Structure 1
Amino acid sequence: MMPGARESLLDAACAALARRPWATVRMVDVAASAGVSRQTLYNEFGSKEGLARALVRREADGYLAGVEQALATHTDARERLAATAEWTAASARENDLVRAMLTGCWSERLPSPTLSAVPSSSAVPAQRRADGPLPSPGDLVAIVRDRAVAVLTGPGTPRADTGELARSCELVVRLALSCVAAPPGGGDGGVAELVRGTLHRQGV
């Protein structure tokens, strides 16, 4: 398969999902929109379920890449965590799949693949990864928490300090998720201010 065709198919599936419920998205239409044959689509993803898993995996990876970028944006720990919270709230607001992954609330419009691994006979490495376990909301909270801790701690940081920091980082992620469910006043600035205030009280 030509390089980039997998991404084109995922883009086409995403565009189709924006227009209609996943249950009515047809593989033949996704293939036509991406400019490939239906057989090529099946060779790459195996099935519509495989396409759904790949779509969810890509959106999870994109969200986590944005977390890495947010954590690298500032030098101040509080601002790094505020940026991470803003990214989390904005991603969930703008991307229905990210919102579903972060909250566990999958609407009938969306694909809802099982989060556990499924048997995979795919020869495509990216599809074998998509057929593996998909992250639950708890998994994503833990991944973001652990990445934040890794960025914010230097070598030789005492374990006790790391434990406190991990609790603060997890609190930030959970605050951001609460803002997804019930947005604060002031838009994204409201999320960041909430996080800054909480971290200030915690002495971070």
Structure 2
Amino acid sequence: MKQSYAERARAGMRDAILDAVERLVIDRGWRRTRMADVADAAGVSRQTVYQQFGNREELGQQYVLREADRLLAAVDSALAANRADPLAAATAAFEAFLTVATDNLMVKGILAGDDGLLPLVTTAGLPVRQVAVERVVSAIGEHWPDLDSADVLLFAETVVRLAISHATAPAADPQTTTGDVMRVLGPFIRQLVEKGRP
């Protein structure tokens, strides 16, 4: 469906505001970023920022969701590239997520001590987790439709929580972390695939 000019302009405005949030997060952190700062950095009025996002909490949530979408694109690609082998796909997807996260500016901000952003992906991160779980469930369903839906949901919820935890508090490089996680999840994935065979 083709977007109208007004819809494209609104989407462009939202992207410009979220880009401004990103610059400010890098410069001063989320905790010290005010709506007026975002408006100035985006070159719009403060009223425009409020009209687009409602309040500061929603603005932060939308920024985190946009970054999550960027991270999940790497997961989608890894799953699609390894569709012949679900275990290899899960391994590649988890490692891709962690690898992309190491270069993500939002994640870098969290790792640098921006405790204002951390709750938006952890304790207050329900919208982010829900979006990520739905995306993982959808991708698995697309590539492996015969798998048990309850088990797929359990796997998605578990792997999303693990991925967020390891991205925001890394203990090792992405390859090592992925190997360790898959040692634990591998048997469950094999069992899931076995149950899904006709």
- Identify the residue that residue 99 of structure 2 maps to in structure 1: 90
Counterpart for residue 61 of structure 1: 69
Identity %: 31
Shift of 1:174: 5.6
Distance change (3 Å), C-alpha of 1:168 and 1:152: farther
| Cα distance, 1:64–1:193 mapped onto 2, change above 3 Å | same
RMSD: 3.9
Specify every segment of 5 or more residues in structure 2 that has no aligned partner in the other structure, as ranges: 1-5, 194-198
Higher relative helix content: 2
Deviation digits for residues 164-184 of structure 1 (CA, Å, limit 9, x no counterpart): 666666665565456444433
Q: 1:27: which partner in 2?
A: 35
1:78 to 73, 80, 87: 87
| Paired residues of 1:27 and 1:48 also in contact (CA < 8 A) | yes
Aligned: 1:134 with 2:142: no
TM-score (structure 1 length as normaliser): 0.62
Q: Distance in 2 between matches of 1:70 and 1:145?
A: 12
Residue 38 of structure 1 corresponds to which residue in structure 2? 46
Name which of 135, 139, 146 aligns with 2:137: 146
Are 1:79 and 1:196, in contact at CA under 8 Å, matched by a contact in 2? no
Partners of 2:50 and 2:21 in 1: CA distance: 13
Structure 1 residues without counterparts, runs of 5 or longer: 117-132
How much has 1:8 moved relative to structure 2? 0.8
Q: Secondary structure at the match of 2:31?
A: helix
8 Å contact 1:20–1:109 — kept in the other structure? no
Q: Would the aligned equivalents of 1:91 and 1:98 in 2 still touch at CA under 8 Å? A: no
The TM-score with structure 2 as length reference comes to: 0.64
**1:108 corresponds to 2:101:** no
